[in-house]
Amino acid sequence: MSLALLAVAVLVVLGLGYRLYGGFVARQYALDDAAPTPAVRLSDGVDFVPTRPFYLLGQHFSAIAAAGPIAGPILAAQQFGWLPAVLWILFGVVFIGAVHDLSTLVASVRHEGRSIAEVVKTNLGPRSGVAMMAFIWVALVYVIVAFTDVTASTFVAGDPELEGLTFDFNPGGAVAMASTLYLGLSVLMGLVERFLAPPLWLQTVVFVPGVLGVVWLGTKLSTVFAFGASAWAVLILLYCFAASLTPVWALLQPRGYLGGFVLYLALAIGAVGLFFGGFEVQLPAFKGFEVPGASGALFPFLFVTIACGACSGFHGLVCSGTTSKQVAKESHCHPVGYGAMLLEGFVAVIALATVMIISAKDLAGKPAGTVYGIGLGRFFAVVLGEERLPFAITFGAMAFSTFVFDTLDVSTRLGRYIVQELTGLTGRVGALVGTALTVGVPLAFLLVAQAGSWKSFWTLFGTSNQLLAALSLMGVSVWLKRAGKRYWYTLAPMAFVSVVTLSSLVLQVRDAFFGVQAATAVQQVNGAVAVVLFVLASSLLATGAKALLTSAAAARPSPA
């Protein structure tokens, strides 16, 4: 199958999914533009700000599109082949992932812009709210662990494909330098906006091309940062600590703005490569249901390995954390919530394509970020020419790290908020304690683990992330039931994802403590965490099931 034909098929499925099933789900919520949203009713110019749908879509998309839909499909395709990966991505985003995102966004809008944890607390009770927050915090810790380790591996990875093209060129060092300079460029943009306040178009004209400039500079200074993976992991976590406590105007907002352009450029490059690159597919379509020495059987591990590429509970945190406070009209929930997840599905397919065009020999030993960088670089070279391959590959890998940094910052901030809420600590002390705990646990994990062992964390990360989506859908289903609305379209995906993820947890516990071979320290830690997640999730699901079995005449906590 050619990449161009695959791209056409994917776009047709996504387009029909948005128009048909997405339209159906949106109609179930009876979105009403006459009803003032929290962004309008509670507008304060800080958190609650009515935003035009086009700009809100871009902001929301850049917030949810992280490393998950890139690393997950690449890893799953290497293990099981590209065909089952693309089938799950398409089915997952249309019927599960996008439904989850739209539903959590609408639920938050109808609950005064509150978080999904607050929605669960309102509909399932205070204890369930605490259990949900604890589950979210553990899931966020694994987001930080997995993304930190895979990025650190990318910063040290070399590629023999580039040998001979230029002297004294370190591919990993180029990505590390470009990524560091990109963060510095974001801070500079934040300072300019804060103290000089030039028009946005002028900042865009200056700073967006500057992103490509730092990529070029990274290729020229590729040997400056020659650290090992463990050192990079520590440095990245130190960045998380500082970024989480930095005012949003100084880093988060300008980086998110520039990151949106990087994301759109990566999508455009991917589309060019798919349609006009003429690349040959070298990866087998199907490798089998079992992968010896890898993650195990196709069910359930294909699903949780692809993670955010098909369904992501992290998206619900974004939908109910920031996006719901900016929705100007209820009808905007459809393109922003459902549409952005379909775009993420296309990101996942592009990531899948980058691994499909690389031979098994060239794939050996390379982390996902490097694979993505090589593939996207080859796509970019279709436009730039082969002589600029080092620049193109550096841009691809830096784009990967760009998405990661955004997620790491948001995850650390959310983790800090949860710790402060659970402990009651406030002010500067609470912020420091919450941040230190949220970053300190991942640091301990990564110091115990062998450098570059991100695959050991990835399965549990994907499992916890998708199980979080199932728990969010359970909370939404109870809300809809109590409001007298149909809820099968949220309950059915909740049930499917629950079976997949709980099965994954059970198998990981088995391998950690009851396997034939002795488990490593990392596997044992993963097994212990899997037990905690299983207990928390089972409690929440049981409470939700009990609520669904009660009379529909139960109190209605909020309109649906």
What would the mean pLDDT of 204-212 be, rounded to a whole number? 93
Output the pLDDT for position 559: 66
Q: Would you put residue 112 in left (φ > 0), alpha (ψ -120 to 50) or beta?
A: left
Higher pLDDT, 266 or 541: 541
pLDDT at 560 over 80: no
Output the pLDDT for position 295: 52
Output the pLDDT for position 162: 39
Evaluate the omega torsion of the peptide bond into residue 36 and state whether it is cis, within 30 degrees of 0.
no
Higher pLDDT, 553 or 108: 108
Q: Give the range with max mean pLDDT: 75-79, 408-412, 552-556.
A: 75-79
- For residue 297, give the H/E element and its range: strand 296-297
pLDDT at 267 over 70: yes
Which residues have C-beta within 8 Å of that of residue 307, sequence separation ≥ 6? 68, 69, 72, 458, 461, 462, 465, 466
- Is-contact 96 493, C-beta < 8 A? yes
Distance of alpha carbon 54 from alpha carbon 52, whole angstroms? 6
Q: Which CATH architecture has domain 3-549?
A: Up-down Bundle (1.20)
Any idea what DSSP says for residue 522?
A: H
Concatenate the DSSP letters of all residues of 358-410 into one string: S-HHHHTT--HHHHHHHHHHHHHHHHH-GGGHHHHHHHHHHHHHHHHHHHHHH
- Is-contact 559 484, C-beta < 8 A? no
Distance of alpha carbon 121 from alpha carbon 472, whole angstroms? 11
What would the mean pLDDT of 445-462 be, rounded to a whole number? 80
Give CA angle at 310 (83, 313), nearest 5°. Answer: 155
Tell me the C-alpha to C-alpha distance, in Å, between residue 247 and each of 61, 187, 207, 428: 22, 11, 20, 13
Residue 430: other Cβ atoms inside 10 A: 17
The answer to which of 42-56, 308-322, 434-448, 531-545 has the lowest mean pLDDT is: 42-56
What would the mean pLDDT of 418-433 be, rounded to a whole number? 89
What would the mean pLDDT of 180-195 be, rounded to a whole number? 92
Q: Tell me the two tokens of residue 251.
A: 């880093």
SS3 296: strand
Output the pLDDT for position 509: 94
Instruction: Summarize pLDDT for 73-105 with one digit per residue, the tens.
Output: 999 999 999 999 999 999 999 999 999 999 999
Instruction: Summarize pLDDT for 467-481 with one digit per residue, the tens.
Output: 999 999 999 999 999
Instruction: Summarize pLDDT for 150-177 with one digit per residue, the tens.
Output: 888 778 754 444 344 343 557 778 888 9
What would the mean pLDDT of 497-509 be, rounded to a whole number? 96
**pLDDT band (50, 70, 90) for residue 551:** low
What would the mean pLDDT of 119-140 be, rounded to a whole number? 94
The answer to which of 145-159, 351-365, 379-393, 458-472 has the lowest mean pLDDT is: 145-159
What would the mean pLDDT of 452-470 be, rounded to a whole number? 89
What would the mean pLDDT of 108-112 be, rounded to a whole number? 96
Distance of alpha carbon 222 from alpha carbon 158, whole angstroms? 11
Extents of the domains making up the chain: 3-549
Q: Which of 202, 200, 196, 189 is nearest to 251 (CA)?
A: 189
**pLDDT band (50, 70, 90) for residue 181:** very high
Output the pLDDT for position 501: 97
Partners of 327 in the β-ladder = 51
pLDDT at 500 over 70: yes
- Is-contact 506 296, C-beta < 8 A? no
What would the mean pLDDT of 120-128 be, rounded to a whole number? 94
pTM of the model: 0.90
pLDDT at 450 over 80: no
pLDDT at 381 over 70: yes
What would the mean pLDDT of 250-263 be, rounded to a whole number? 82
Taking all residues of the chain, what is their mean pLDDT, rounded to a whole number? 88
**pLDDT band (50, 70, 90) for residue 247:** confident
The answer to which of 31-45, 319-333, 381-395, 459-473 has the lowest mean pLDDT is: 381-395
Q: Which of 47, 187, 139 is nearest to 414 (CA)?
A: 139
Output the pLDDT for position 165: 39
Output the pLDDT for position 169: 59
Output the pLDDT for position 166: 41
Instruction: Check the CA dihedral 393-396-402-408 and report its sign.
Output: negative
